[in-house]
């Protein structure tokens, strides 16, 4: 019985570690799927362009390290169109599912990230 309990504990610990390790912090610029990595700097022009493209049917994307990541849920990014952000979330393929989105607390290089996740 003790062996079964120990094995169950080890299995639960392994699953918990995998779930925790799937969470990462990403830094980048919120762009749109039409312009993608053409937007490299946050500016009033970038904000206006991203908002216009999204109003025209494009989706929000995150540009980081020259890569473009799809973002979900889209509604979390409306206030950050064309701006630098810090996203805490999970990467699956080229889609970043955001748990939280905020403006960076420090002036990190736009390509900097902590954790992994291809960043």
Q: pLDDT tens, 10-47?
A: 556 555 544 444 689 999 999 999 999 999 899 999 99
Query: 88 or 40: which carries more pLDDT confidence?
Result: 88
Q: Which two tokens stand for residue 116?
A: 């992994």
Residues linked to residue 114 through DSSP beta bridges, in sequence order: 25
Residue 112 has pLDDT above 50, yes or no: no
pLDDT score, position 49: 98
pLDDT score, position 54: 98
Which residues contact residue 89 at a Cβ distance below 8 angstroms, ignoring those fewer than 6 apart? 23, 24, 26, 96, 97, 98, 99, 100
Q: Are 74 and 60 in contact (CB under 8 A)?
A: yes
Q: Give the CA distances from residue 66 to residues 29, 46, 74, 101, 111, in Å, rounded to whole numbers and listed in that order.
A: 10, 16, 21, 20, 8
Is this prediction's pTM over 0.75? no
Q: Give me the residue spans of the domains in the chain.
A: 24-102
Q: pLDDT tens, 57-75?
A: 999 999 999 999 999 999 9
SS3 state at 93: coil
pLDDT score, position 105: 75
pLDDT score, position 100: 97
- Rounded Cα distance, 34 and 54, in Å: 9
Looking at domain 24-102, which CATH architecture does it have? Beta Barrel (2.40)
Residue 79 has pLDDT above 70, yes or no: yes
């Amino acid at each position: 019985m003790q062996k079964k309990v120990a094995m169950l504990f080890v299995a639960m610990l392994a699953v918990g570690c995998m779930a925790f390790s799937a969470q990462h912090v990403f830094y980048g610029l919120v762009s749109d799927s039409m312009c993608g990595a053409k937007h490299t700097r946050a500016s009033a022009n970038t904000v206006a362009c991203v908002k216009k493209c999204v109003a025209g049917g494009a989706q929000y994307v995150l540009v980081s390290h020259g890569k473009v990541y799809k973002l979900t849920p889209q509604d979390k990014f409306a206030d950050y169109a064309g701006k630098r952000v810090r996203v805490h979330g999970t990467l699956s393929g080229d889609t970043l599912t955001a748990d939280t989105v905020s403006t960076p607390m420090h002036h990190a290089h736009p390509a900097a990230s902590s954790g992994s996740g291809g960043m």
